[in-house]
């Protein structure tokens, strides 16, 4: 039978086996120095070799950055069920671009998609109009009607905003699409806030969504 305690080779104290890290070929399957001593030793080493240690961990981290990200994502997905945006192919932002492509090519001629993170707009069409795509899920508000709030206030570059309204992050059903000319907003100086109960106010900008829903089914 394995005893429940062991004497640490460094501090010479008798400690419970739980106070020693596991090591297959160690005495009683544990390392010879206790956890506390190992920590202390590595701390002293770190203090005396700070620059070297920092450089080493920086190097290790940068060489293994993707692996680290992967681990974090996997953990997060497993534990919280949320996906990082670039992997969430069913997320509203990701879908937004694809849906936008479909819709815009029906409204404008020859729509060209800009590279990711292009400042101010996502698409440009043959007549030179710059179009920024905004996608939002419905945000519930306490004692008030829910809203879609599209952050458009600081965008002076885009000629049009294509606003895609989804119901929520988990279902991602598209509810409305508005194509709003930036000029129409210039006076208001605020973001586009569309209240669910006052949706008729935006009717003139609304685009048909039946074709969009069909193309969404292909994407998901
Ligand atoms: Zn010890």
- For residue range 191-212, what is the model confidence (pLDDT) as tens digits? 899 999 999 999 988 887 776 6
Distance CA 19, CA 35 (A): 6
145 or 187: which leads in pLDDT = 145
CA 38 to ligand 1 centroid distance, Å? 7
- 59-107 residue pLDDT tens: 877 777 777 666 666 666 566 555 544 455 556 666 677 777 777 777 7
Distance of CA 61 from the midpoint of ligand 1 (Å): 30
- Domain positions in the chain are 5-55, 92-219
CA of 39 to the centre of ligand 1 (A): 10
First-residue to last-residue Cα distance in the chain: 58
The CATH code belonging to domain 92-219 is 3.40.1350
Rounded to the nearest whole angstrom, what is the distance from the C-alpha of residue 41 to the centroid of ligand 1?
A: 10
Helix (H) or strand (E) holding 2: none
Q: Which of 126, 185, 121, 179 is nearest to 153 (CA)?
A: 185
108 pLDDT higher than 80:
no
* Burial (CB count <10 Å: 0-12, 13-18, 19+), residue 48: exposed
Q: Where are the alpha helices (DSSP H) in the chain?
A: 35-48, 50-63, 65-80, 92-107, 182-185, 210-219
> Ligand 1 centre and the CA of 14: distance in Å?
8
Asked whether the predicted pLDDT for residue 137 surpasses 50, the reply is yes
Q: Report the pLDDT value the prediction gives residue 218, as an integer from 0 to 100.
A: 59
- For the chain, give the mean pLDDT: 81
How many Å lie between the centroid of ligand 1 and the Cα of residue 19?
9
Least confident residue range of 121-125, 145-149, 156-160, 186-190: 186-190
- What confidence tier does 16 reach under pLDDT thresholds 50, 70, 90? very high
Q: What is the sign of the dihedral through the CA atoms of 87, 88, 92 and 97? A: positive
Q: Find the length of the chain.
A: 220
CA angle 74, 78, 83 (to 5 degrees): 65
Say how many Å lie between the CA of residue 197 and the centre of ligand 1.
68
Rounded distance from Cα 31 to ligand 1 centre (Å): 10
CB 207 within 8 A of CB 179: yes
Token duo for residue 152? 């458009």
Q: What does the pLDDT average to over 143-147?
A: 92
Q: How far is the CA of 186 from the centre of ligand 1 (A)?
A: 70
């Amino acid at each position: 039978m394995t005893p429940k305690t062991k004497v640490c080779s460094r501090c010479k104290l008798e400690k419970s086996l739980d106070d020693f890290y596991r090591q297959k070929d160690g005495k009683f399957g544990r390392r010879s120095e206790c956890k506390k001593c190992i920590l202390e030793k590595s701390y002293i080493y770190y203090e005396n070799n700070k620059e070297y240690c920092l450089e080493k961990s920086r190097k290790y981290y940068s060489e293994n950055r993707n692996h680290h990200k992967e681990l974090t994502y996997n953990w997060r997905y497993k534990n919280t069920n949320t996906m990082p945006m670039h992997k969430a192919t069913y997320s509203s932002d990701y879908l937004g671009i694809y849906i936008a492509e479909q819709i815009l090519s029906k409204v404008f001629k020859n729509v060209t998609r800009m590279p990711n993170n292009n400042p101010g707009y996502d698409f440009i069409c043959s007549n030179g109009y710059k179009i920024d795509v905004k996608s939002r899920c419905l945000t519930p508000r306490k004692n008030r009607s829910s809203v879609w709030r599209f952050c458009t206030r600081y965008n002076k570059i885009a000629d049009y905003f294509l606003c895609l309204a989804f119901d929520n992050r988990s279902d991602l059903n598209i509810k409305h699409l508005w194509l709003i000319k930036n000029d129409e907003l210039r006076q208001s100086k605020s973001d586009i806030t569309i209240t669910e109960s006052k949706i008729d106010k935006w009717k003139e900008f609304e685009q048909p969504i039946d074709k969009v829903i069909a193309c969404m089914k292909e994407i998901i």
